[in-house]
Amino acid sequence: NVSYRADKHYGKKSYSIDSVEDQIRTVLVTYGPVEAAFTVFADFVSNKSVDYTHLSFEALGGHAVRTLGYGTENGSPYWLVAISWNEVWGDKGYCKILRGQDECGI
C-alpha cells in the first residue's frame, strides 16, 4: 500500500494548442499524449466497437480523453484515444475516433 501523499504526481509544465490537426499530430510525435475535451453522445455509452462515429445528435455532456496517437485504417483517418471509464468499453478502454472531421469535438 502506498499513501495518498506518496502516490501524488504533479505536472511540471502545461500548454495549450489550437485544434488544428497538423499541430495536434506534431505535439503527439514530439511530446506524447494530448488531453482533449470529448463530447459524449447518447450512442457512445452503448457502443462496443473499437471504431466510433456518432450517429446520435443527443449530447449527454463532456468527458476528458487522452489522445495517444493517430493513423489510417481502411482509408479512414482516426485518433487513438483512451477512455477512463473502464476496460470493458471499446478495445480494453481504447477506441479510434474519426480524425479530421471534428468528430465529438476532437
pLDDT of 76 > 80? The answer is yes
Is 96 a member of any domain?
Answer: yes
C-alpha cell at 62: 463532456
Whole-number percent of the chain with pLDDT over 90: 22
Is 2 a member of any domain?
Answer: no
| Spatial distance between the Cα atoms of 53 and 73, rounded to a whole number of angstroms | 14
Is 10 a member of any domain?
Answer: no
In CATH, what number is assigned to the domain containing residue 28? 3.90.70.10
Is 48 a member of any domain?
Answer: yes
Considering the chain, what is the average pLDDT of its residues?
83
pLDDT per residue over 11-28, tens digit each?
777 778 887 889 999 999
Is 54 a member of any domain?
Answer: yes
pLDDT per residue over 52-67, tens digit each?
677 777 788 888 889 9
Spell out where 1-106 has E strands.
Answer: 34-41, 51-52, 59-73, 76-82, 94-98
CB 43 within 8 A of CB 54: yes
Q: Report pTM.
A: 0.74
Is 87 a member of any domain?
Answer: yes
Is 9 a member of any domain?
Answer: no
> What DSSP character marks residue 91?
B
Nearest C-alpha neighbor of 83 from the set 104, 58, 57? 104
Q: Which residue segment(s) compose the domain that 75 sits in? A: 19-105
Is 100 a member of any domain?
Answer: yes
| Number of domains comprising the chain | 1
pLDDT of residue 25: 94
pLDDT of 50 > 70? The answer is no
pLDDT of residue 51: 67
